[in-house]
Amino acid sequence: MSKRSARRSRVEAAFENLRNTIATALGAAENAHRSVLDECAQQEFALRIAQLGTAAAAREPGELGDPADHHLEAALDEALAERDRIYADWTETGPAQLNELVAEAGPGSAAEPFEHWLGRVGAGDAAHPPQLWRIGNAQVPDSPRPQPFPAAVPALDLSHLRITTDGVPETAETVVQNLLLRILGHFQPGQVRVHVWDVAQLTGTLPGLYPLAGAGLLTAHDPTRLDEMLETLSDHIRRIHASSLLGGHTSLRALAAENGHRSEPWRIAVLFGNGEALREEQQQQLQRIARNGLACGIQLICVDLSLTVSSAIESITLTGRNTARTSMTGPEAVVELDEPPSRTEAAKACSAIAEAFEARRARVRTFDDLVPEQLWQHRSISGLQAPVGFEEGEPVWVNLGDTSPHTLIGGPSGSGKTNFLYGMLGAMTARYSPDELELYLLDFKEGVSFAQFTPGRRDPSWLPHAQLVGVNVNTDREFGLALLRFLSEEMRRRAEHAKQHEVTKLEELRAEDPEGRWPRIVAVIDEFQYLFAERDPVTAEATQLLEDVARRGRSQGIHLVLASQDVSGIEAFWGKPAIFEQFILRIALPKARRVLAEQNQSALELPRWHAVINHESGVKHGNEIARIPDATGKDTFHPLQHSLWERRPAGSVPPRLFDGSNLPRLSKLADYRELTAPTRTPKALLGQIIDVTGTAATVPLGRSPGRNLAVIGTVQQDTTSVLGAAALSLAKQYLPGTIRFTAAGLLDEVTGSVDTITADLRSAGHDVDVVAFDDIEATLTGIAESIDSGGSAVPHVLLLYGVDAAQATLERKDPVTRVSALDHLRKILKQGPESRIHVLGWWRSVQRVKNTLGMGPVDDIGAWVAFDVHGQELMPFTAGQAVNWSPRARRGLFFDRSAHSRPEVLLPFDLESERGPEVPAPRSEQAEIREESCD
Ligand SMILES: Nc1ncnc2c1ncn2[C@@H]1O[C@H](COP(=O)(O)OP(=O)(O)OP(=O)(O)O)[C@@H](O)[C@H]1O
């Protein structure tokens, strides 16, 4: 082949190659192009399927294109596979879970079929209401395997409801009626009130519910008077905010969950509109109610009425005669609404509710109705709430807490104050355990009112919450003072603890110190005006303390309950409006004066056994009228006390009883029981001072000047009691042989007392020299001389009964030495204590003590107890300090120069009964008598 032809064939081959390569590339491009077109067509269908919805596309593929188009087929297959994957979890577990959830959140009538409960009156717990209420069965028709599940909506204070009809208002009525029947049937009649307004109809809306109207449970509002209904609802909101929610709770629901009861009924307002807008101001008021109503238990159900609020709202959109979509289930789920019960059945059920409500309202409520079924279920963290009476069969509650810390109760004698207190205390002690509530109870009038809360001879039970019971304290105003002092001190202690936890209030302290025991304290003072009866230092201090406790008690959980037949006469009180203002809760019994605000005359018109309960400082709009059950009749309070007593915590001790009409027993006194021998610091117990713990009045008898005691007064029973108690208590602190007693009866009439004490001391193993009148000079001379020779080897106590009776004898001077026994006595008084010799003597008047002391200093008598002696007479013995004291029967005034800044009142011991037969319980005699008369 020529060179030329060879080149040509190479060129041709190259071209051939090029052609082949181009053809291959073009083929590949065409293939790629075709595949992109296919992909594109499928994606196009996928988009349209997504727009139409997978289920709709599967049902009607023709809507999207040629059903035979394989692109459409592929897109549909992919969409269905994707849907199956997405629904897999739901299909597997969703409906079952929802069934469970609705059964749990919607117990009883909230979700069960009507036939299970309709016609029965509900008793559901209003403090823990259902969260969901069933409306029908839903399913998602477009899901791979549609399964029914319950559709339910929240109601009451959880959410409002908006219903939009599809031009079939009857279905809306059915939905609303079913829902209301479920709610009304769940709770005690009266717990839910319904308001209905229908723009189009005067009557006829919700006909099945009409039987409720007669009982006042349903109010049908005139179509032209929407304003009235909105105003009524707004009033409720205002009132609830100003009362129940003042304590810091954000909603009635939260308050009820904490208190365990609901004091306000729910109010459901159903508004049937016609799709048109309301007037601007009506719309705004409706929005306001929607915003604030739920917290106050007011729910709106708006049908074809626009409502836009930020608070919780669910919606139901009706889509046909019996179907709907709801915001709860989402737009994919179709709800088949529950078939309503027949109109007759609905009306019958509502009649039953109305009748039960009327019966509840009319029934006579008793003390037992104040007591909850389960005892001690409440916590007092934010306050104390208890029913005290009934209005139309429904309980009326009192609230002691931050907003109304203290109570003032007024009513003339016999109007039922004590009975009211019993009812209130019963309702509280039944709800709160002794770890949540402590009681301090004081009655200034004569009688035994609170004594039954302490153990008695025939009945050993006591009220486990009671720490202190004071009865017959009318003459012992100091006991009221002692209580206030105690409360003030307790307040300080609580504030101190709170500070350590860097908080200020008891409520916060309890949160910070959950293990601590911080009960609320209720201090009741019946006939408290006695405490302020005189213009004296007691009133002055009581006023000051009361002001302190009234002002600061609120944050430390200390609540005062003051009752009086006449508050108007309490000058100290009215002069200090700051005190009075703290008593926000006012309770007025029939004909009470000045307890409520001046213009509020409601107490004057009250029938017997009723009370005005007012949590707003007595202003009229705060009035609640309650009938008060009998709490003091036979077998009312006592069975409750017994149950509470049986549940008392381990280690619970009976309350201390202070009974002004009985004297204390030395042997019962803790301070006496605790004395042991030997002791380094002997002290003589003289009587009992007036305080909340029942402390002994004691005089330490150490080796220092002035450690002698003068008992001054003419009443032998009292003075010998003091000397006797002193001797017995000293005897208990020494082993036999380590103390000496010398007892001299210088008056004929004391022989018996001297003999008794001598016998008691001797039977305890002690040495006692009994000195007769004629031997007193020699005895005193001997003792005085012993001082010069080093004093007594063991403590030596001289019990001198009626020193002044021997004045003339004692003054007689020895013809040789010119020294009298009186000089010796003075020497013993002056120098004896350092040598362990102490004089415990009785003089019949202040002057006679002075006669004994002569020109010597009164300091040699370091301690004294005076009976039937006026205060001003005692001034020389208090370093010139004025003593405000008028003698009272069976009360003395006690002063120990080394310990006191001013004298204090002393109750002598009842030593005589001490030697009588043993009586086990402290309850007062009168309580026993009353108990017996009740039997
Ligand atoms: N709600 C009531 N229902 C039935 N009886 C009552 C009621 N309240 C009080 N009583 C009875 O009336 C009488 C007087 O009641 P109470 O002692 O409580 O009145 P008071 O105002 O405390 O009177 P006083 O100041 O004279 O003690 C008692 O016999 C009591 O049982």
Burial class (CB in 10 A: 0-12, 13-18, 19+), 277: exposed
106-112+124-359 and 677-914: same fold?
Answer: yes
Indicate which atom in ligand 1 lies nearest the CA of residue 609: 1
For ligand 1, say whether the CB of 565 is within 6 Å of any of its atoms.
Answer: yes
For ligand 1, say whether the CB of 419 is within 6 Å of any of its atoms.
Answer: yes
Q: What secondary structure letter does DSSP report for 611?
A: E
Backbone torsion region of residue 704, taken as left when φ is above 0, otherwise alpha when ψ lies between -120 and 50, otherwise beta: beta
**Closest by CA position to 408, among listed 246, 243, 631, 570:** 570
CA pair distance 109, 133, nearest whole angstrom: 8
Residue 617: strand, helix, or coil:
coil
827 CA to centre of ligand 1 in angstroms = 62
Residue 367: strand, helix, or coil:
helix
Residue in the structure block whose two tokens are 């006592």: 638
Annotated binding site for ATP: 411-418
Least confident of 104-113, 312-321, 721-730: 312-321
Determine which helix (DSSP H) or strand (DSSP E) holds 233, and give its type and residue range.
Answer: helix 226-242
Q: Look at residue 88 in the predicted model and tell me its pLDDT.
A: 83
Q: Calculate the CA 218 to chain-centre distance.
A: 34
Q: Calculate the CA 219 to chain-centre distance.
A: 35
For ligand 1, say whether the CB of 630 is within 6 Å of any of its atoms.
Answer: yes
For ligand 1, say whether the CB of 609 is within 6 Å of any of its atoms.
Answer: yes
863-866 and 892-896 as β-strands: parallel, antiparallel, unpaired? antiparallel
- Tell me which fold the domain 677-914 belongs to: Rossmann fold (3.40.50)
Q: Look at residue 846 in the predicted model and tell me its pLDDT.
A: 94
217: pLDDT strictly greater than 90: yes
201: pLDDT strictly greater than 60: yes
Provide CB contacts within 8 A for 704, sequence distance 6+.
Answer: 833, 834
Is pTM, for the whole model, over 0.80?
no
pLDDT in tens, 379-427: 888 889 899 999 877 789 998 988 889 999 999 999 999 999 999 999 9
pLDDT in tens, 759-781: 999 999 999 999 999 999 999 99
> What Å distances lie between residue 252 and 127, 297, 424, 705, CA to CA?
9, 7, 23, 69
414 CA to centre of ligand 1 in angstroms = 5
Indicate which atom in ligand 1 lies nearest the CA of residue 633: 31
Could you tell me which residue, 474 or 590, shows the higher pLDDT?
A: 590
Q: With a threshold of 0.85, tell me whether the complex ipTM lies above it.
A: yes
Terminal C-alpha separation, the chain: 152
Largest CA distance in the chain: 190
Asked if 409 and 493 count as a contact pair (C-beta separation under 8 A), the reply is: no
Pocket test for ligand 1, best of 367, 419, 443 (most atoms within 8 A of CB): 419
For ligand 1, say whether the CB of 413 is within 6 Å of any of its atoms.
Answer: yes
931: pLDDT strictly greater than 50: no
> CA 673, 674, 680, 682: dihedral to nearest 10 degrees?
-40
Asked if 602 and 612 count as a contact pair (C-beta separation under 8 A), the reply is: yes
**Closest by CA position to 436, among listed 507, 493, 492, 518:** 518
**Closest by CA position to 770, among listed 794, 754, 753:** 754
What confidence tier does 829 reach under pLDDT thresholds 50, 70, 90? very high
The average pLDDT across 11-35 equals 91
What confidence tier does 929 reach under pLDDT thresholds 50, 70, 90? very low
Q: Two tokens at 53?
A: 């919805």
Residue 67: strand, helix, or coil:
coil
Could you tell me which residue, 559 or 259, shows the higher pLDDT?
A: 559
CA pair distance 683, 797, nearest whole angstrom: 12
CATH number of 106-112+124-359: 3.40.50.300
The average pLDDT across 187-196 equals 94
Cite the DSSP H helix spans in 414-457: 417-431
- Tell me which fold the domain 395-648 belongs to: Rossmann fold (3.40.50)
Q: Look at residue 575 in the predicted model and tell me its pLDDT.
A: 67
For the chain, domain boundaries: 3-83, 106-112+124-359, 395-648, 677-914
Asked if 742 and 779 count as a contact pair (C-beta separation under 8 A), the reply is: yes
The average pLDDT across 361-381 equals 88
pLDDT in tens, 74-102: 888 988 888 888 888 888 888 899 999 99
Residue 854: strand, helix, or coil:
coil
Indicate which atom in ligand 1 lies nearest the CA of residue 627: 1
Cite the DSSP H helix spans in 557-613: 571-574, 577-581
pLDDT in tens, 641-689: 999 999 999 999 999 999 888 899 999 999 999 999 999 889 999 999 9
Nearest CA to ligand 1 atom 11: 416
CA pair distance 568, 589, nearest whole angstrom: 15
CA pair distance 381, 432, nearest whole angstrom: 11
Indicate which atom in ligand 1 lies nearest the CA of residue 447: 27
538 CA to centre of ligand 1 in angstroms = 30
Q: Two tokens at 808?
A: 């003339």
932: pLDDT strictly greater than 50: no
pLDDT in tens, 788-801: 887 778 999 999 99
860: pLDDT strictly greater than 50: yes
Q: Two tokens at 836?
A: 């362990």
Q: Look at residue 792 in the predicted model and tell me its pLDDT.
A: 78
Burial class (CB in 10 A: 0-12, 13-18, 19+), 591: middle
What confidence tier does 744 reach under pLDDT thresholds 50, 70, 90? very high
753: pLDDT strictly greater than 80: yes
CA pair distance 774, 766, nearest whole angstrom: 24
Annotated binding site: 411-418
Sheet containing 330-337: give its strands across. 149-153, 133-139, 330-337, 323-326, 313-318, 160-164, 298-303, 266-272, 192-198, 218-221
Q: How high is the mean pLDDT of the chain?
A: 90
Q: Two tokens at 243?
A: 């009362």
262 CA to centre of ligand 1 in angstroms = 29
Q: Calculate the CA 191 to chain-centre distance.
A: 24
Nearest CA to ligand 1 atom 4: 630
For ligand 1, say whether the CB of 418 is within 6 Å of any of its atoms.
Answer: yes
Radius of gyration over every alpha carbon of the chain, rounded to an integer in angstroms? 44
CA pair distance 447, 213, nearest whole angstrom: 50
Nearest CA to ligand 1 atom 5: 630
Q: Look at residue 86 in the predicted model and tell me its pLDDT.
A: 86
Give the whole-number percent of the chain exceeding pLDDT 90: 65
Q: Look at residue 569 in the predicted model and tell me its pLDDT.
A: 59
Provide CB contacts within 8 A for 276, sequence distance 6+.
Answer: none
For ligand 1, say whether the CB of 416 is within 6 Å of any of its atoms.
Answer: yes
Nearest CA to ligand 1 atom 8: 416
For ligand 1, say whether the CB of 817 is within 6 Å of any of its atoms.
Answer: no
Cβ-count burial 76-86 (b if 16+ within 10 Å, e if not): beebbeebeee
403 CA to centre of ligand 1 in angstroms = 29
Residue in the structure block whose two tokens are 């300091």: 859
Nearest CA to ligand 1 atom 3: 630
**Closest by CA position to 467, among listed 418, 523, 409:** 523
**Closest by CA position to 45, among listed 75, 8, 24:** 75
Q: How many CA atoms does the CB half-sphere of 785 hold within 13 Å? A: 9
For ligand 1, say whether the CB of 411 is within 6 Å of any of its atoms.
Answer: yes
Nearest CA to ligand 1 atom 25: 413
644 CA to centre of ligand 1 in angstroms = 24
CA pair distance 80, 46, nearest whole angstrom: 11
Number of helices and strands in the chain (H, E)? 26, 31
> CA 260, 264, 268, 269: dihedral to nearest 10 degrees?
-160
Q: Two tokens at 460?
A: 């050993």
Could you tell me which residue, 261 or 558, shows the higher pLDDT?
A: 558
Q: Two tokens at 69?
A: 């188009």
246: pLDDT strictly greater than 80: no
Q: Two tokens at 896?
A: 């120990």
CA pair distance 389, 810, nearest whole angstrom: 72
What confidence tier does 364 reach under pLDDT thresholds 50, 70, 90? confident
Pocket test for ligand 1, best of 418, 562, 609 (most atoms within 8 A of CB): 418
Nearest CA to ligand 1 atom 2: 630
The average pLDDT across 688-712 equals 95
Residue in the structure block whose two tokens are 């307790």: 490
Q: Look at residue 59 in the predicted model and tell me its pLDDT.
A: 83
Q: Look at residue 17 in the predicted model and tell me its pLDDT.
A: 93
Q: Which residues pair with 221 in a beta bridge?
A: 197
